[in-house]
Amino acid sequence: MLTLTTLLACAVTGIVTAVVMFALSRGAVASQPATGPEGPQSLGAAQPDDVVFLFRDRALVDATDSARAQLPASPAETDDLGRFVIAFSHRFEGVARRMATALADGGFDIAEVPDDPDSLRLVAEPVADCLRVRLHDPLRGTRSEALTHYSLAALRAELFTLRSIAERSPIPTWKKRDDGAIIWANSSYMALARDVAGDDAVAGWPPPDIFEDVPIPALETGTGSSRTSLQAGSDEAWFDVIVLPGEIEAMFFALPIDKLVRAENALTEFVQTLTKTFAHLPIGLAIFDQKRRLALFNPALVDLTGLPPDQLSSRPTLHGFLDALRDRQSIPEPKDYKSWRMQIAQLEAGAADGTFEETWHLPSGQTYRVSGRPHPNGAVAYLFEDVSSEVSKTRSFRSEIELSQSVLDSLGDAIAVFSPAGHLSLTNRAYDRLWGKLADGRLVETDINEAVRNWQDKAQESADFSAVSSLVLQRHDRRETSCQIRVPDGSKMLCVARPISGGATLVTFAAKAEASMTARELDLTAKTAAL
């Protein structure tokens, strides 16, 4: 839109320039005396309507009034030589390059139309440390004085440029009078009208107003743009219609935004998908933006924290959110308010680099696992998971393990349990007294082979534990086996290996006199070890 507006301004400037040139051709005064090194002769024998420039480096040190009228007033940040190149580069090819080397080359002579002796020529010649540039018209004496040839050529070139830009613009553009009639339209608008209304509708003039039935709120205010769509064949085309009202006519620009609309629709669908996914998550989700205001939350967060949805929808800050949790006793109570604020700072800093994770034991007996994860653009996501049931099961399981260990330690027989892979999983106090306690206490690193070597090294007589070892590593057809051994204190014991549930193996070492354990006692011991 800015480019087309600028072009319209240029068109007005061109018309004003033509009027000025007309006035100059009717008897403008001569130019001011030169300030160059040759004094009044620096411009040569220039007439009032001659176009003559005098440059020193990039600065214009003198020019005729007609020459000054040729230079554009914008852009303001461009120097004199830059404005000269803007004015003549579209008419004389290579003028920028030739001006840069003119003093070194001894000047130049460029024709507007090569090989045409009657065309305008741009002639440059050195004058001391300056460069004098003049526009030469070979047919000047035969032309009308009403409008000189170079002014008409400049106006014609400018109009050609503006028309070319308007016609080749990919943005549909058109002008309408106050009575609604279209008085001008570019080729993009005509092509769009042909797709919307058909070839027959655009055969005559004026073309149909394809946006006539589309509400354009910008017309009411006179500024801004309005988003609308048209049915172009089988496709729906979206536009931002921009209106530039005038006194008797208005300019319209329809910016195509199909890609933007598709991207927005895809983003909306993606957000809706995420929202539906988050809505079914049992884990509470709270996402804070880079300013640490709540940007997104799911229903599970409401259920876990007890905070009302309207309070969360008001986008509280991170500190406000945690203060609200504290008021509802949904966060561990600090010893004092100062340490509480310290915890808030650590919470935010820890989550920002992806390292924050804590377990909150609440006064209500619930247990939350809270973790923070960084998000793009400085946002932070917090996950609140109720692990009360998991913690309760863990505590119960740990209690059962401790109870089972206590039961096994109370037995007089030495007991060892091996996993299906052959690793030592469990021993009791009697086993540790008989065969020695492991140095580091890590049972899983001791397998059946290592345990058998330990038994053989400490037994007084060589014992055959091959049947026991085979049973521990055997997968199928597992049957109870036993062997007699003599332990380090010289007494005889009976080693019994028995399959238990899960593919594990229970190995007991009992005094031979007590080896007559009933099947019920042995089964009870095996069940206890399996726990």
For 46-61, b/e burial (b = at least 16 CB within 10 A) is beebbbbbbbbeeebb
User: What does the DSSP 8-state code read for residue 155?
Assistant: H
User: What does the DSSP 8-state code read for residue 310?
Assistant: H
pTM: 0.43
How far apart CA 346 and CA 202 sit, in angstroms, is 69
The CA-atom distances, in angstroms, between 93 and each of 85, 107, 117, 303 are 10, 15, 16, 75
Check residue 122 and give its pLDDT. 92
Taking a C-beta distance cutoff of 8 angstroms, is the pair 31, 56 a contact?
no
Check residue 387 and give its pLDDT. 86
How far apart CA 425 and CA 433 sit, in angstroms, is 17
How far apart CA 174 and CA 188 sit, in angstroms, is 9
Mean pLDDT by 10 residues, the chain (531 residues): 43 44 37 41 65 92 88 76 84 86 92 84 91 86 56 71 84 84 86 85 78 64 71 84 80 90 88 79 86 86 88 88 84 72 67 76 84 80 85 79 84 90 88 75 71 85 83 87 83 90 90 52 50 50
The CA-atom distances, in angstroms, between 200 and each of 41, 63, 207 are 66, 56, 10
Picking from 460, 459, 481, the residue whose alpha carbon sits closest to that of residue 471 is 481
| Domains assigned to the chain | 2-162 (3.30.450), 171-260 (3.30.450.20), 281-386 (3.30.450.20), 402-530 (3.30.450.20)
Helix axis angle, 2-25 to 149-168, nearest 10°: 170
Check residue 157 and give its pLDDT. 73
Helix axis angle, 466-473 to 448-458, nearest 10°: 160
Check residue 219 and give its pLDDT. 56
Taking a C-beta distance cutoff of 8 angstroms, is the pair 493, 464 a contact?
no
How far apart CA 28 and CA 282 sit, in angstroms, is 87
